[in-house]
Structure 1
Amino acid sequence: MPDRLRQVLAIGLQIGRASGGTFDIGMGDAARAWGFGPEAAAPERIREAMRASRMPAHEALEMGAGLVRKRAPLTLDLNGIAKGYGVDRLAETLVRHGLHAGLVGIDGEMRALGLRPGGEPWTVAVEAPDPERRAPHSILALQDAAVATSGDYRHWVEVQGRLLSHTMDPARGAPLLTSPASVTVVHASCMQADAWATALMVMGSLEGAAMARKQGLDALFIDRIGDGFRETRVGRLFEAGDGSGGDADDSGT
């Protein structure tokens, strides 16, 4: 197994174990069955995915010196962690070429290096979880930190008239039925922020906030309440805000 792939798998399994399996890189069959892949959703494959007896990836995969072995049927899906890893690689490439200040990102997952030319932190918007428009919900000021968001408002499929988010519930082998509108996590590593945002999305705001505190994460949960939103803020970065959906600024996370 190539070293870089082993690195992604190792972090995926680590967060899978720490999250109690709410982050599971072994959900590839379910994601594909429900239409989050090259093919449309297929009822028979959906039924198979939901009936499958699953062993969590952190139990099913064994990692050795240069080798990875599976102990049970498993189809990998690294979409919940690969973008974050890619952002980290972008940042590492800049540093390797002598560039120690910059902002890099892939599809909304971002990592800030150093400060802007004027000595200010890099500003990154947390998007409002609204499928009809793109607008900022709040603004983060980041220095040497990464941010990732998991949400239900950008990537979804329609099955039997119901819109279903791309985030899989490992307990069901199916998309989440209820979840926050979005979860944003700030971490030194974009790969870890990416994976933890998915794990906390699956847990929901109450259990997810408790896990974020346990793990020492900075996290912002946004739930839909009627026609508005309710926030749950965890960690020094987000708790520094006023709790009303305005700026959550910090220059040294």
Structure 2
Amino acid sequence: MPKMSSEPAAPCKRTTLHGPTMGTRWSASMDAETIVDLKALRQDLAFAVQQVDTQMSPWKPDSDLVRLNRASVDTWVDLPFEMLEVLSCAMDVQRLSAGAFDPCVGALVDAWGFGAVRDAPDTEAIREARQAAARTTHGCLELDHPAGRARKRAPLQVDLCGIAKGYAVDRMAAVLHQHGVRHALAALDGELRAVGSQAGGAPWAVALECPEPGRRAVRGVLELDDLSVATSGDYRHYLDVGGARLAHTMDARRAAPVNNAVASVTVLARTAMHADAWATALLVAGPGEGLAMAQRMGLEALFLLRRPEGLVEMGLGRFDSSTMQQDAV
């Protein structure tokens, strides 16, 4: 039998690259082979997340999203492939979640003081946004993938904040693959994606945050290997109005900020885009409808509910087993 031989693998070094984007920071921790050009990799990672921000930010007046929102009804708008991919996923999750996830809540977001227009709720703007939302249907946005364009079939304002960060993490993972990195953890805010495992074979350990406003504390640890995770909650971005705390996530069906017992929802999925969108959908749906929805879709999800006695968990998939190392509350 002939003697088998192979070139030894290049040694790996733990490296972390990071930078600012979307009002927060992106990061990529990796066990990268020493032959990887880290300078070029950092440039490509920064470009990937910046491209998503440039296309899909509601805060940038020249973004593709703002162009679409400003366009007249029934006017085709040329859009980049990446944005059409995100819009397509957003509309799929909207349909499958019966509107719990809705990419057409931009006017409501602005009216309630969470967008680029105002920093506090405006009664008249809320009334107008509610009237518009009542007229909006799932068929009000048409995508033409072959031609690279979209058009609105009714007046609406698209908002992709519940999915764009997850997509940006997926773009980071693609860049890491292109540079030959096989062991990495890409992160942007509460969205993360593991590219393989750590070089030694162990999964990547990710902290599950305790949903407490103004305080960062670890509640548990997740282990990721070629998997994504996203968390949506009511504790990070909110407004205090008349002693009440308004969460930034909109419930389009009520035309108001989400208001239920759910403090946070964490979802596992193959892509960070899907994990991000479904975490938002389940947060809006609430504990009863949301759990049934997650079961129907076969999602692995963890709900943290606010109860008089403290936080209560409801979990599906690995969240319903001992694979999550639970810290004391």
TM-score, L = length of structure 1: 0.92
1:187-198 alignment, distance < 5 Å: 187-198=269-280
Q: 1:74 and 2:151 equivalent?
A: no
Partner of 1:40: 119
| Contact 2:133-2:252 at 8 Å conserved across structures | no
Cα distance per residue 1:207-243 (max 9 Å; x no partner): 11111111111000000111411110011x2122389
Q: What is the distance in 1 between the residues matched to 2:195 and 2:137?
A: 32
Structure 1 vs Structure 2 CA RMSD: 1.7
Aligned letter for 2:87? L
Q: What is the distance in 2 between the residues matched to 1:101 and 1:57?
A: 43
| Contact 1:130-1:153 at 8 Å conserved across structures | yes
Q: What is the distance in 2 between the residues matched to 1:134 and 1:168?
A: 24
Partner of 1:251: none
Q: What is the distance in 1 between the residues matched to 2:315 and 2:168?
A: 27
Partner of 2:134: helix, strand, or coil?
Answer: coil
Partner of 1:222: 304
1:149-168 alignment, distance < 5 Å: 149-168=231-250
Partner of 2:217: 135
Cα distance per residue 1:109-163 (max 9 Å; x no partner): 1101111122100011110111142111111001000000000001001223311
Partner of 2:326: helix, strand, or coil?
Answer: coil
**TM-aligned CA deviation for residue 6 of structure 1:** 0.3
Aligned letter for 1:133? R
Distance 1:86 1:188, change over 3 A: same
Cα distance per residue 1:45-99 (max 9 Å; x no partner): 1222233343556321111232212111110100000000000000110001111
Aligned letter for 2:115? G
Larger radius of gyration: 2
Partner of 1:89: helix, strand, or coil?
Answer: helix
Q: What is the distance in 2 between the residues matched to 1:3 and 1:67?
A: 9
Partner of 1:9: 87
- Count residues with an aligned counterpart: 245
Aligned letter for 1:11? C
Aligned letter for 2:326? G
Correspondence for 2:101 among 16, 23, 27: 23
**Structure 1 unmatched runs, 5+:** 248-253
Percent identity, aligned pairs only? 49
| Contact 1:146-1:190 at 8 Å conserved across structures | yes
1:44-193 alignment, distance < 5 Å: 44-56=124-136, 58-64=138-144, 65=146, 66-193=148-275
Runs (4+) of structure 1 exceeding 4 A deviation are none
Distance 1:176 1:89, change over 3 A: same
Partner of 1:224: helix, strand, or coil?
Answer: strand
Q: What is the distance in 2 between the residues matched to 1:191 and 1:55?
A: 28
With CA pairs under 8 Å and 6+ residues apart, which has the higher RCO, 1 or 2? 1
TM-score, L = length of structure 2: 0.71
Q: What is the distance in 2 between the residues matched to 1:190 and 1:56?
A: 28
| Contact 2:132-2:156 at 8 Å conserved across structures | no
Distance 1:118 1:242, change over 3 A: closer
